[in-house]
A and B are shown apart, each in its own frame.
Chain A
């Protein structure tokens, strides 16, 4: 099992105020808010894979993955797509605004267990956000890992997150970054097709591989099929299940999946834990 990380907060239900230090426009509907502490106590530490509950007074609260560099401890970054009232309100924040936060919560990507081996990261859409700390972590400790491969898919070029970083990462030693879109415009010269098609263009070493994936559940099911076809054991496959999380501490039960509370026991799970609960797997 992945081990849930205990929240580094006194009362996990009590929001604290944080200040928006900067806002980076990623796409037409997605921003990264970089937040900093309001008090001298600073912000709690996080590990890659964790999320926070971000709160806008009078609007509501929403779980958002931490997407920043875990090596920069004094700030927490959140990449948010405007899809509803709360997320739209957050995306419309400006530097200097105050928002409220609970957390960080949840389990982490297995960056320690993956040391000494290859790492495959497969992301779709906004799913790259919770995996960006993994990329930062591995590239910061490059000597501890083998080959690093990122497969990333989005609807269109204008919906690709972190474009500059994708370019920078692909220039790193022993690092391969393949990006694909469902629909390419006239100026797009990269891959067009779904993210699982990219498996055909990479060489994996199953005996030393750890795979981490995040994206829509449908995408992850197809990713699992590709990994199974390449004999990657379920125990070496990790996925982030970010569904229906409300309280973040396992009280409310909204996010229960089988015996697990996704917010408290996850959101990062081994595939061996999630396999029975990912409906439709056997029809694939």
Chain B
């Protein structure tokens, strides 16, 4: 656990927390634990019941899908990003494998304890779910953009 002051200091660039007031930040701080990963450390494997939610403070993490031949890198995550949102839903395993591409420092939250906090303080829970929704919306936008294959040359200029 880290102090509220320290929590506010290290999360000042976390987009996810930009609308959180001091009271809600204090509640999150009480649940946070600093966790470090070394290069190439597997944080969780696909399908695993990992149950942790992370805010990345520094370093680079990768979300990957493991195929028969090699891992396929889907997205890199950096300082200011969040990872492991499925732990807040409390059902099912992780969808991807997460690996540290560089040494990384995170704030980790136990998903079950975070859900309990959301249930017991609905104003906090609402704020948390709004933040989560904005995170998922961003991921959805990114996925749509990738599906559009937007760097392909438009048909109109195939001269």
Q: Check if A and B associate.
A: yes
Q: Which residue on chain A has the smallest CB distance to residue B102? A: A189
Asked if B22 is at the interface of the complex by the 8 Å CB criterion, the answer is no
User: What is the 8 Å Cβ interface bit string for chain B, positions 119-159, against chain A (1 contact, 0 not)?
Assistant: 00000000000000000000001100110111111101111
Asked if B42 is at the interface of the complex by the 8 Å CB criterion, the answer is no
Asked if B10 is at the interface of the complex by the 8 Å CB criterion, the answer is no
Q: Are B81 and A200 in contact (CB under 8 A)?
A: yes
Asked if A97 is at the interface of the complex by the 8 Å CB criterion, the answer is no
A: number of interface residues (CB 8 Å): 41
B: number of interface residues (CB 8 Å): 30
Shortest Cβ distance from B120 into chain A, in angstroms? 31
Q: Are A124 and B151 in contact (CB under 8 A)?
A: yes
Given contacts A87-B159, A184-B73, A188-B73, contact A81 B153 (CB under 8 A): yes
Asked if A243 is at the interface of the complex by the 8 Å CB criterion, the answer is yes
One of A86, A184, A196 near B159 (C-beta < 8 A): A86
Chain A's interface: helix, strand, loop or mixed, by majority? mixed
CA distance A124 to B101 in the complex (A): 25
Q: Which residue on chain B has the smallest CB distance to residue A86? A: B159
Q: Are A182 and B151 in contact (CB under 8 A)?
A: yes
Output the residue of B101, B141, B153 with the most chain A CB within 10 A: B153
Q: Are A62 and B145 in contact (CB under 8 A)?
A: no
Question: Which chain A positions have C-beta within 8 A of B60?
Answer: 189
One of A155, A189, A222, A244 near B151 (C-beta < 8 A): A155
Q: Are B145 and A222 in contact (CB under 8 A)?
A: yes
Asked if B45 is at the interface of the complex by the 8 Å CB criterion, the answer is no
CA distance A86 to B153 in the complex (A): 14
Given contacts A84-B159, A193-B142, A194-B146, contact A201 B151 (CB under 8 A): no
Asked if A166 is at the interface of the complex by the 8 Å CB criterion, the answer is no
CA distance A185 to B67 in the complex (A): 13
CA distance A125 to B152 in the complex (A): 8
User: What is the 8 Å Cβ interface bit string for chain A, positions 77-109, against chain B (1 contact, 0 not)?
Assistant: 000010111110000000000000000000000
Shortest Cβ distance from A94 into chain B, in angstroms? 21
Asked if A60 is at the interface of the complex by the 8 Å CB criterion, the answer is yes
Shortest Cβ distance from A221 into chain B, in angstroms? 9
Q: Are A60 and B159 in contact (CB under 8 A)?
A: yes
Question: Which chain A positions have C-beta within 8 A of B72?
Answer: 183
Q: Are A193 and B157 in contact (CB under 8 A)?
A: no
User: What is the 8 Å Cβ interface bit string for chain A, positions 188-206, against chain B (1 contact, 0 not)?
Assistant: 1111111011001100000
Q: Are B159 and A197 in contact (CB under 8 A)?
A: no
Binding site for A on B (CB under 8 A): 15, 60, 62, 70-76, 78-81, 101, 141-142, 145-146, 148-154, 156-159
* Top 7 A-B residue pairs of the complex, sorted by shortest distance between their CB atoms: A125-B151, A84-B158, A62-B159, A184-B73, A218-B150, A192-B76, A194-B145
Could you list some 20 contacts between A and B, CB below 8 A?
Answer: A60-B159, A83-B159, A84-B159, A85-B159, A87-B159, A125-B151, A126-B153, A154-B151, A159-B151, A183-B73, A184-B73, A186-B70, A188-B73, A190-B76, A193-B75, A194-B150, A200-B81, A215-B150, A217-B154, A222-B141
8 further contact pairs, Cβ within 8 A, besides A125-B151, A188-B73:
A84-B159, A124-B150, A126-B153, A154-B151, A186-B71, A201-B79, A219-B145, A222-B141
